[in-house]
Structure 1
Amino acid sequence: MKLAFALASLFAVSLHAAEELPVMPQIDSVGLFKNGVAVVRASFEAKQAGNYRWDELPRSIHGSFWIESDGVVIVRATTRMIDESAAAPTGNLQRDLAGQAVTLRLKKGSEGGEAPLVSGKVWALPEQPVSKSWDSGFFNASNPWMAATQSRTETPATTGNFLVLESERGRQFVELHSIASVSVDGPAVLAPRKVEKPVMVFEVTEPPRDGGRVRITYLARGLAWAPSYRMDLGAGGKLAIRRSAMVRNELIALKETEVQLISGFPNIEFAHVDSALWGGATLTAFFQQLGQQPGSARGAASQQLVMYNAIAPAAATLPDLQETGAGDDLHYEAIGKRNLEPGDSLSLDLSATETKCERVVEWVVEDPRDGNGRYHRSSNDEPKESNEPWDALKFTNPFDFPLTTAPVVITEAGRFRGQSLSQWVNPGQSTCLRVTKALSLQTRSAETEEEGQREVVWVGGNDFRRTKVKGSLELHNFRNKEVTLDIRAGFSGEMLEAEGAPTTRLRTDGVTSVNPRRELVWSVKLAAGEEKTVTYRYSVLVDQ
């Protein structure tokens, strides 16, 4: 009875495979985000109704797999026994030489004499059924992007320590340790192996009218691009800017595929969840991923394009994305058709231009107090570079598209000056990049409390003392030329007065604090060798 059931199952699988036409969808285009997520668009020809089998199942992101077709297509993820050609021997003689005529030379016995020969056809092992368990998935909670693998319980057929041959005299069992050499009678061809693989079957009941092509769109991880800039300082305040991109492919082979580079920061809620259509998915892993807080991985994933809805068996069409030019804070840049195998990387220049820049010294003096007016506790282990001046470049984005976040190498006359990080800069927006530490400028910031009566103020049931503070910024230019010093000094409290008519602005980090969090901004010109002190006064509430 069991044998009959197994034969019936094997016949059903063979029948399915015979009715299915294998296809390899063409990757038409990919849109790459910087964090490893890509928008993949593929298609295959289906001019007639029938079942089309895709043996290379994509690992898409949950809710992002869509069929774009005006026909009627139902998608089914399942498994099939697929013939896989053996490109290299596995070391298992019974499987590697299955079906081939061989001659075995056996080892000599202790008595010596001629080594005996044994000839015959290597017996082919039967394929064994595979059992699966729906709740046997493995999930790595420390890495939500880790593959959830499906466990399979398999008992492969084995011949133990024997090589089994078939000949006119019947079946012969030859001990493996007694074989000295094996000769294949005729051309040596490794026998193909049947391997159970996850597949995707497209049931086309009504062929598409759009050229008979079924179009697929999904999000997947494994393709990324990384921008970088090189800025060269020239005479007369000129700044030459070069943009380049590095593309890395660890997903799928790209053959004459249109590639777009995407800049932006859209939200995608399920970037850490594998689609249940993926062959390695299990319900256990799927629900674990859905219930997990992605944490830092979610922050990276939020830079991806979101295109998700409930997966329906019927065909559905996505809105046509304009994958060129700029949109609402998303910028698509086409780099043409490319060929990239998995594991390949590509580097290419994108564009170049010139603009004007201003060389300044940037000095950011951090607020020494917290929201309750107390001084921050200091530690000898804390870095002291935050309050030091830096040579910097101020310029306006000259392109008609944004400069995305990327490393910047700064040179002057071909010589390296420094490396910085450029944040997102919109067209026409100004930015400031640090180049080198301004060691030839000496700066010092200090605060002193003014003497006088300390008024007690009650806020929300807590008592504070109001005190007045005088701040001073000491500057000394040791260079033999004039410098422009851009100073930003943070403080907490109410502004009373300041030298040099600085700009005063509120900081966003003081919304819930007792004291308003403010920042003073100066632009000070300092002649060669000049010393200068800039003072300011403010009042602050200090929690007692």
Structure 2
Amino acid sequence: MLLQAPSVVKPKVVSISMFKNGYAFVTREIPITDNSAKVVEVPQTSLGSLWFWTNEGQVDSVTSVDEGKTVTTKVPFSMYQEVLDANIGKRFVFTVVYSDEKDGHKSERRVTYDGVLRSYKSNLVAVETSEGMQLFAFDKIEDLVGKDPNIVLAREDKHQESARYYQILTKNNAKSVMMMSLERGMAWAPGYSIDLSAPDKLTFTAKSTVLNDLLDFQGAKVRLITGFPNLQFQNILDPLTSGMSVDDWLASISGGAPGGFGGGGRGAGGFGGSFANRAGELTRRDAAAGLTIRSASPEDISTLKSITDGGLVAQDVAGEQLEDLFFYDLENVSLKKGSRSYQYLYQFDVPYKRTYTWDGEQGSGVLNKIKFKNQTGKPISTAAATMFKKGEVVGQGMMNYTAANTEAELVVSRSLDFKTSVSTDLIDRNVGAIKDKKGNPTMDLITYETELEVENPKTDAVDFSIKKTFLGEVNKSEPKAEMDVSKTGLKGSNPYSVLTWNFKLGAGETQKFTVRYKVYVPTGQ
């Protein structure tokens, strides 16, 4: 409940540093008069994140104060009896129903009395009309209408309420105090469109949607944060504003509540958080690149083509690297609680390379992928990326976090044009290649030969890549492949060998790849 005393001041939101996981650091400015201020709006915030400071003077103390007051509310009457009791001497129009019986037939008769209510006792109503005093039973009243301008229709209910405010005391003539707190209820979600209309250069466009369920703010500086925040205590309330008893608060930090110190909890945004699924990456991984804020005009969103065909100009904004987080600054942002705000952020053109890839498995299909370098000088966050060509959607994929000057890879679509096949033949089996201490065979060494074949029915040559994993030791690959070997497998006997071929596949061309490898298997299997 907001106190109405003149000494109570309302903090102004001046800046918000926003993560993608639903948390934001909010900074409010509190005006100080005569080294003192009373504030009601001190939020429930995360442990360790509530701070007060001033650039002039010194903050002396911040103390919570519970102030009692008498509150009067009006409770509407729910019954006629209450109305009559409270309005003796007021004018009413009564409609009274009488029951008559004649020759065995029952009938009802309605009579209207317009007059001043003189008494209501023991179910008997007395009304003074122009024709004299009229008496009738209360239970005969069908309707009554008040004709007096001062009719009382509610009773006053008085009760005591306790209102909490925070007394801020300063020294040395401080003019204002800044209050920072980590609060839940605000997030932002990036999104990207990638135009592939040009054969060798793509246009990358970023947008941002801000979700605000926390508070109203106007003309504030907003910082969009990219990086993984280590907010270990975000789910534990700060003791100053928790509203909890001593025992309850101590339980919350000692393992008696989720995220407590004793329980080892670190919160969804801390190092202890885990990624529940792929969608969770959008909110828990790198928070992301936010750039120039501008409301979308009807021309911006009229067609897909207007988004992807160069209708926006790339713009940079101020930003800075702080530890392993990157902050992008948006100036003069206003948004109401419960509102959503959609803005275009930035755009850039960059060369890209298209490669068709296959994992060498039967029936797995060929993927159409693109690679490009992040040349913005800033990180690009994890988010959904939709790919367009000549205004039409051609694919969608997950844009993983991409640091500045590093390469990004996206799957555009699955290509059904290419024909692929896999065949494997057993070449030799050396029974008992490994024996136990008693000379009994335990492992056989089998030699396999696998042939991979891919055909390009397209009218253009394409860049193609095959990357296949073999369990066992590879003896030969033709054509020779790049190979990465890891010593794992059945009891360490079989390594994993990852073979990669990168090549040009001509129009209408078919290429074959042969791999011979040996693998240990249990005897008799």
Name the TM-score, length of structure 2 as normaliser: 0.69
C-alpha offsets along residues 160-205 of structure 1, whole Å, 9 cap, x if unaligned?
xxxxxxxxxxxxxx99x98845678489999999885764413315
Whole-angstrom distance in 1 between the partners of 2:502 and 2:359: 12
| 1:36 is aligned to 2:36 | no
Unmatched runs of 5 consecutive residues or more in structure 1: 1-16, 120-173, 306-322, 367-383
Equivalent residue in structure 1 for 2:397, among 384, 402, 420: 420
1:226 aligned residue (189, 196, 214):
189
Instruction: Name the amino acid aligned to 2:358.
Output: W
The secondary structure found in structure 1 opposite 2:96 is coil
8 Å contact from structure 1 (residues 228, 407) kept in 2: yes
Amino acid at match of 2:341: L
2:184 aligned partner, one-letter code = R
Summarize the alignment of residues 309-328 of structure 1 with structure 2, pairs less than 5 Å apart: 324-328=319-323
Equivalent residues of 1:62, 1:271 under 8 A apart: yes
**Residue 329 of structure 1: which of 316, 320, 324 is its match?**
324
Separation in 2, partners of 1:184, 1:57: 47
CA contact (8 A) 2:31 2:37 kept: no
Match of 1:450 among 421, 427, 444: 427
What is the Cα deviation at residue 65 of structure 1? 1.3
Give the match's secondary structure for 1:64.
coil
| Contact 1:101-1:184 within 8 A present in 2 as well | no
Q: Whose relative contact order is higher, 1 or 2, with alpha carbons under 8 Å and at least 6 apart? A: 1
Residues 365 and 489 of structure 1 are in contact (CA less than 8 Å); yes or no, is this contact kept in structure 2? yes
Structure 2 unaligned blocks of 5 or more: 99-110, 119-137, 275-279, 288-317
Q: Distance in 2 between matches of 1:246 and 1:467?
A: 57
Per the TM alignment, residue 418 of structure 1 is displaced from its structure 2 partner at its CA by 1.0
Distance in 1 (alpha carbons) for counterparts of 2:151 and 2:10: 31
Matched, 1:273 2:252: no
Partner Cα distance (1:29, 1:349) in 2: 21
Higher strand share: 2
For 1:365 and 1:84, the matched residues in 2 are separated by 77
The residue that corresponds to 2:39 in the other structure is: 53
Q: Secondary structure at the match of 1:451?
A: strand
Distance in 2 (alpha carbons) for counterparts of 1:258 and 1:90: 45
- Counterpart for residue 505 of structure 1: 484
Cα deviation code 1:457-497 (max 9, x no counterpart): 779xx965443333332211121221211222123333322
Using the alignment, how far apart are the partners of 1:480 and 1:216 within structure 2? 65
How much has 1:411 moved relative to structure 2? 0.6
- In structure 1, what is the Cα distance between the partners aligned to 2:75 and 2:451? 77
Shift of 1:248: 0.8
Shift of 1:266: 2.3
Determine if the alignment matches structure 1 residue 288 to structure 2 residue 257: yes
SS in 2 for 1:235: coil
Question: Quick check: 1:496–1:538 contact (8 Å CA) kept in 2?
Answer: yes
Q: Distance in 2 between matches of 1:304 and 1:117?
A: 76
How has the CA–CA distance of structure 1 residues 432 and 543 changed in structure 2, closer, same or farther, with 3 Å as cutoff?
farther
Between 1:343-352 and 1:71-80, the stretch displaced more is 71-80
Q: After superposition, what is the alpha-carbon deviation per residue over 1:353-405, rounded to whole angstroms, capped at 9, x for unaligned?
A: 10111121122347xxxxxxxxxxxxxxxxx98x3211111111121111110
Q: How does 1:149-298 map to 2 (within 5 A)?
A: 180-181=144-145, 185=149, 196=161, 199-206=164-171, 209=174, 212-278=175-241, 281=244, 283=248, 286=252, 287-291=256-260, 293=265, 298=273
Task: Name the SS for the 1:495 alignment partner.
Answer: strand
CA contact (8 A) 1:104 1:180 kept: no
Question: CA separation in 1, counterparts of 2:212 and 2:153?
Answer: 34
Per the TM alignment, residue 114 of structure 1 is displaced from its structure 2 partner at its CA by 1.3
Q: Which residue of 2 aligns with 1:72?
A: 59
Q: Which amino acid aligns with 1:260?
A: R
Q: Percent identity?
A: 22
For the 8 Å contact 1:51–1:202, the answer to whether it is kept is yes
* Structure 2 counterpart of 1:473: 452
Pair 1:435–1:510, CA change in 2 (3 A): farther
92 and 188 in structure 1: CA distance in 2 versus 1, 3 angstrom threshold? closer
| Pairwise CA distance, 1:76 | 3.6
Task: Tell me which residue corresponds to 1:527.
Answer: 506
TM-score w.r.t. length of structure 1: 0.67
Query: Structure 1 residue 500: deviation in Å?
Result: 2.9
Q: 2:386 aligns with which of 401, 409, 414?
A: 409
1:487 is aligned, of 453, 457, 466, to 466
Structure of greater Rg:
2
Equivalent AA in structure 2 for residue 206 of structure 1:
K
Aligned ranges 1:63-102 → 2 under 5 Å: 63-69=48-54, 71-77=58-64, 79-80=66-67
Matched, 1:24 2:10: yes
Distance 1:248 1:471, change over 3 A: same
The 3-state SS of whatever aligns with 2:97 is: coil
1:350 aligned residue: 345
Using a 3 Å threshold, how does the CA distance of structure 1 residues 329 and 279 change in structure 2: closer, same or farther? closer
Deviation readout 1:185-227 (Å, 9 max, x if unpaired) = 4899999998857644133152664xx2111111111111100
- Amino acid aligned to 1:32: M
In structure 2, the CA distance between the partners of 1:60 and 1:453, relative to structure 1 (3 Å rule), is same
* Distance of 1:281 and 1:64 partners within structure 2: 17
CA distance in 2, matches of 1:76, 1:510: 64
Look up the SS of the partner of 1:110 in the other structure: strand
Q: Once structures 1 and 2 are overlaid, which stretch shifts more, 77-86 or 523-532?
A: 77-86
RMSD, aligned CA: 4.3
Distance 1:50 1:181, change over 3 A: farther
User: By how many angstroms is 1:35 displaced?
Assistant: 1.5
How far did residue 105 of structure 1 move? 4.1
Q: Across the two proteins, how many residue pairs are aligned to each other?
A: 429
Letter in 2 for 1:288: A
Deviation per residue, 1:105-160 (Å, 9 max, x gap): 475333533155569xxxxxxxxxxxxxxxxxxxxxxxxxxxxxxxxxxxxxxxxx
1:208–1:214 Cα contact (<8 Å) kept: no
State the partner residue of 1:395. Answer: 372
The residue aligned with 1:435 is 412
